[in-house]
Amino acid sequence: MTGHAKQLLSPYRWVILLIMWSTMCIALTAQFQISALAYQIIPDFNLTPGQYGMVLTAPMLAGLFFSFAAGALADRWGVKRVVAVGFVFSIVGTFFRFSAENFLQLFMLMFLAGICPGFLNANAPKLLGAWFSKEQMGMAMGVYFSATGVGMGVALATSALFPSTKSAFITAGVAMLIIWLLWLLFIKAKPEGAPDLPVMPVTKYIGVAAGSKNVWLVGVALMFLMGSSMAFTGFLPNALHSEQGMNPATAGLVASIVTFGTVVGSILGPVISQRTGKLRPFLALVAILGAGAGISAWLVPQGAAMAVLFATLGVMLGMCAPILMSFPMLLPEIGPVYAGSAGGIIGTLQVVGGVCIPSFIISPLAGQNYTLFFALGSLCLLLVSVVVLLLPELGSGSRVKVGTDLAKAM
């Protein structure tokens, strides 16, 4: 092992990962408070189904507009600075949601709340790649992505327990402020002594990343994955409440089964795929199983079978995301130099799926027919299995070749 490889395994990498995890966890908690409190927010603001979907996905719109630029700017100026600026906007949006008096104000505040996680998600492969070895990259991404499931699960399971929406929103805002301070104090761009990456014009970073067909394929796969995930996690609590008669607290707990399933999947997915040595067939199989579990969970009667199937859906969703997001650091034409810009492209497409597919495609097609709604959400996950088969094989079985190619590219 080279000296540089040893530096990449610095124990401080766990501090970096923990702060990244905490950032994404509180961001998702804040976003999915809207889902858990939909039974209050929809009548209080007199929201139509379309407006509710826009409020829920407003944080992801920030990623849609800014992920591409955030990745390129981080390649040039560093991840710490770019994300720290995003934090400021997100703290304002998260904290002051309690003051919103109409749909537009709530929408704008939710949009601001999504700026920081959008910036971080675009640059997660780059920051983690600076601290973790290529062999550990999948594991690190898995731990990082487990924060999304924990954040959503905490929101769905606890938001209805707060005495008011105001107290829930203020609590999330204060938590985000504390994590911002930790980010400023403890985040470092790379281990001490690690070589600096070459500095080039922003257009150079963007040009190389945009010229990679594989970057776009990963983005499309994550677009369908996020569309499916948001269809279930974002709309399931209200669907269980209005269609199947569950009380809001129980509906939130059932929906949280999906999100906590993603936590398990985020950890297990990289471990299992590493042992199989093949990423493409593994991802395709996982997506197919998840699609079947998703629609089946909605169709079966309430009870143990429903819980098991929703948990299976969550595990399958969780397995896919970290593996796909680790691709930029594994692709020989991208690597650490262009990972920020590649992550920006991927993050943009991912957000397109999360925002547009549930709200602007599935909702208009399904209307109030939740069976059709979740069938279309499952179809999106099925399409992931098609796209991943078009990607190059970068599993552990081909790591030696990839490592050689990456060394030549650098």
- The domains of the chain are located at 13-192+202-409
pLDDT of residue 410: 40
Within 245-303, residue ranges assigned H as helices are 248-276, 280-299
**Contacts by 99-103 with C-beta closer than 8 Å and gap 24+?**
100/45, 102/45, 103/45, 103/46, 103/47, 103/51, 103/55
Q: How confident is the model at residue 406 (pLDDT cuts 50, 70, 90)?
A: very low
> CA angle, corner 258, sides to 167 and 172, nearest 5?
20
What backbone torsions phi and psi does residue 327 show, to the nearest 5 degrees? -55, -40
pLDDT of residue 200: 60
Query: Concatenated DSSP letters for 25-36?
Result: HHHHHHHHHHHH
Q: What average pLDDT does this structure show over 252-274?
A: 86
pLDDT of residue 14: 93
pLDDT of residue 139: 84
- Report the CATH superfamily, name and number, of domain 13-192+202-409: MFS general substrate transporter like domains (1.20.1250.20)
304-363: pLDDT as tens digits: 899 999 999 999 999 998 889 888 777 878 777 777 778 888 888 988 898 789 878 998
Angle between helix 13-36 and helix 49-77 axes, rounded to 10 deg: 160
Give the Å distances, CA to CA, from 402 to 128, 357, 387.
18, 34, 21
Q: Measuring CA to CA, which residue among 198, 259, 261 is closest to residue 232?
A: 259
Contact 184, 81 (CB under 8 A): no
**Percent of the chain scored above 90 by pLDDT?**
37
What is the Cα Rg of the chain in Å? 20
d(CA 351, CA 31): 14
More confident residue, 164 or 245: 164
d(CA 275, CA 2): 24
300-317: pLDDT as tens digits: 988 889 999 999 999 999
Q: What average pLDDT does this structure show over 150-171?
A: 86
Q: How many CA atoms lie within 13 A of 151 on its CB side?
A: 25
**pLDDT higher than 70, residue 2:** no
pLDDT of residue 242: 82
pLDDT of residue 145: 81
